[in-house]
Amino acid sequence: MADKLNWLGKHLVLIRYLNVADAAAKEGYKIPPDLEELFSGLTGAEDIIFRLAEDEKHKAACELMAYIAHRRAAVWWGYRCVLSLLEELKVNPAEERDIADIGADLNVTVPDWANVELPEPDPEFESNAKAKLAEIEAKHKEMESMLDPEIHSFVKEAVEVAFKEFENVYGMHPIDLLKKLGENINAESLPIDPASPALVEAAKLKAQLGQVQKDTVDTIKSVLPPKIPAVEKKKRDNALNAVYRWAAAPDAENSQKCLDIGNECPDTPAGLLSLASFWAYGDLMPMGEQTVPTPPGLAANGLCQVLLLCALHQGGTRKVKERFAEYFRLGVEVLTGADNWEPSLAAGKAPHQEESGNGAINGAINGAANVAANGATQTSPQAQNGLANVTPNADAVPALQPENPPESAAEAAGRGSPPVPPPVYKRWKPGDTT
């Protein structure tokens, strides 16, 4: 029936490109060579994305989504993926590994699957083998009797001469060597000479490798500062605050903040996402007088690397493939409009914050309200990127008010106390420490 809106929530709407060709031409998207067959016959980006998902190619589907997504929605999607990883790490934190442990153990250990268990004695097999050996010996004597005695004697003398020469060189008759070998095989263990040249050279090599490993670790630690958990957490929280500010109000000031904070921890998912937010703004000099456009595809590629960092992160409860499937699900929720920043703006609480009332979050809400009320200018990078088209509804963002509204001057005069000045909500400016 025409009145059944079954399509609601099932189509990607917060996107910039409908076709893969547009994403390739304008953002530099490249079709993975091993997946070209899946793209055959399809031109719509949405159709291809869900085709990839059906074939469980969630990583490739996420990459294409990153290139066609509306930039503000893409940043929010990345933000949600980082929060998903953090939820995993609460259940199963990643084990910290000292770099000095890498290559420190030079002892060779045989894995369990390579250990061969000796078979149990089989009397029947042993009896059959002895009977077969006796049969071979009888056959050998029969063949010897058929030989010319003179030729047979000559061959035996020649063999003995060769064996004697072997004994002169190696100090043991070959027949005696074979007998000793059989005795050693039956022995429980063989004595090992610690002065053996092979063992001496092995010890020298092991000492050299140990020294190389120590020198390498010392060099790396001398140039890389140690990671202090409290400091790393603060950097991560600062990066998430910056990303949330940008999603709430993608303006020049918040873009500059994302750049400054992202540069402090670019090797972490939150730090790289902060840089990707800066690139998504569209201007590499947001506080400058002239606009320097962001290179095509830089923001999308940055988001892809954020998802990859999250998927490969140690710890957690999911494997890499499971994480990409979860990130794809989150991406669909964001790009269909089912998940966005408006509820958290209205509540005055960012999803990554344990407590509301944070000054940074309040500033973000005020910034979002200003953008919603005033609109983005058509000359700004965010307007050029379509950011103004998905600005939160001003009616959905309540004006930020203090818990106890300030009394008027007349009320204060009536009770004989000085008037209480209204609170000032200050937005972040470059150089501010808060």
Instruction: Determine contact, residues 243/270, Cβ cutoff 8 Å.
Output: yes
And the tokens for 244?
A: 């949330």
Q: How far apart are CA 354 and CA 347, in angstroms?
A: 13
Query: Which segment, 36-40, 304-308, 403-407, is predicted with the most confidence on average?
Result: 304-308
pLDDT of residue 354: 56
pLDDT in tens, 73-127: 999 999 999 999 999 999 999 887 777 777 677 676 777 777 777 778 888 888 8
- 108 phi and psi, to 5 degrees? -80, 125
Burial of residue 283 (CB within 10 Å: 0-12, 13-18, 19+) is: buried
Instruction: Determine contact, residues 268/231, Cβ cutoff 8 Å.
Output: no
> Among positive and negative, which fits the CA dihedral 54, 58, 62, 63?
negative
> Which whole number is the average pLDDT over 162-187?
83
Question: What is the helix (H) or strand (E) element at residue 66, kind and residue range?
Answer: helix 58-68
Instruction: Determine contact, residues 397/365, Cβ cutoff 8 Å.
Output: yes
| Beta-bridge mates of residue 318 | none
Side-chain half-sphere CA neighbours of 203 within 13 A: 7
Q: How confident is the model at residue 190 (pLDDT cuts 50, 70, 90)?
A: low
pLDDT of residue 20: 93
The yes-or-no verdict on residue 418 having pLDDT over 70 is: no
Which is higher by pLDDT, 360 or 27? 27
DSSP-assigned letters across all residues of 304-317: HHHHHHHHH-SSSS
pLDDT of residue 188: 62
Q: How confident is the model at residue 181 (pLDDT cuts 50, 70, 90)?
A: confident
pLDDT of residue 196: 83
The yes-or-no verdict on residue 70 having pLDDT over 70 is: yes
pLDDT of residue 174: 87
pLDDT of residue 187: 61
> Which whole number is the average pLDDT over 30-48?
88
Instruction: Determine contact, residues 342/361, Cβ cutoff 8 Å.
Output: no
Q: How far apart are CA 210 and CA 238, in angstroms?
A: 40
pLDDT of residue 355: 42
pLDDT in tens, 355-404: 434 444 555 455 544 544 444 333 345 444 444 444 333 333 333 333 33
- 336 phi and psi, to 5 degrees? -85, -5
Task: Output b/e per residue, 113-126; b: 16+ Cβ within 10 A.
Answer: eeeeeeeeeeeeee
Mean pLDDT is lowest, of 253-262, 322-331, 409-418, for 409-418
Q: How far apart are CA 373 and CA 367, in angstroms?
A: 10
The yes-or-no verdict on residue 342 having pLDDT over 50 is: yes
CA 351 to chain centre: 22
pLDDT of residue 407: 43
Quick one: what percent of the chain has pLDDT higher than 70? 76
> Which whole number is the average pLDDT over 346-356?
78
The yes-or-no verdict on residue 406 having pLDDT over 50 is: no
Task: Output b/e per residue, 288-317; b: 16+ Cβ within 10 A.
Answer: eeeeeebeebbbbbbbbbbbbbbbebeebe
Q: How confident is the model at residue 146 (pLDDT cuts 50, 70, 90)?
A: confident
pLDDT of residue 381: 52
Instruction: Report which of 287, 267, 264, 273 is spatially closest to residue 245, judged by C-alpha positions.
Output: 273
